[in-house]
């Protein structure tokens, strides 16, 4: 009976840990999106692996010097079966100063659970194509 109770307790802790990871993932992804939306690059960099932070900050500061982010929306958050990696899709709407053209870019991020927190380890643009006719878009 003691072994059964101990095994049930261990499973309960593991299940709570998985739920905690999922909650933490949503929170960290949301924080990252908010920081990027408002140009808080240094805060966003806290959610990037330490070895990549300096490059991340330099690249994002340079990009934000020539653009204005209007929206930074989370579209999909998909943890993998292990709960240790996740795929996130975000859509950014931005423009250049003194240019009325709004641009939208869809990006895929890879997040990884590391040392009791989530880190955004990769981000790449997702190629999208507009429908060539109204019928293609339906």
**What topology does CATH give the domain 22-125?**
Nuclear Transport Factor 2; Chain: A, (3.10.450)
Please report, in tens digits, the pLDDT of each residue of the chain (138 residues total): 554 433 333 333 344 455 689 999 999 999 999 999 999 999 999 999 999 999 999 999 999 999 999 999 999 999 999 999 999 999 999 999 999 899 999 999 999 999 889 999 999 999 876 665 566 655
User: Hey, is 114 helix, strand or coil?
Assistant: strand
Q: What is the model's pLDDT at position 18?
A: 54
Residue 7 CB coordination number (10 Å): 10
Rounded CA-CA distance 138/17 in Å is: 42
Whole-model pTM? 0.78
* Domain boundaries along the sequence of the chain: 22-125
């Amino acid at each position: 009976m003691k072994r059964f109770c101990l095994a049930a307790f261990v499973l309960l802790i593991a299940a709570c840990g998985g739920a905690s990871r999922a909650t933490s993932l949503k929170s960290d992804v949301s924080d990252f999106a908010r920081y990027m939306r408002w140009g808080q690059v240094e805060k966003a960099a806290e959610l990037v692996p330490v070895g990549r932070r300096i490059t991340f900050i330099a690249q994002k500061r340079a990009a934000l010097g020539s653009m204005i982010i209007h929206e930074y929306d989370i579209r999909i958050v998909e943890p993998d079966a292990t709960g240790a990696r996740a795929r996130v899709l975000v859509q950014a709407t931005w423009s250049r100063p003194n240019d009325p053209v709004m641009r939208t870019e869809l990006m895929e991020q890879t997040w990884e659970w590391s040392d009791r927190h989530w880190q955004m380890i990769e981000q790449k643009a997702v190629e999208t194509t507009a429908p060539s006719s109204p019928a293609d878009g339906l």
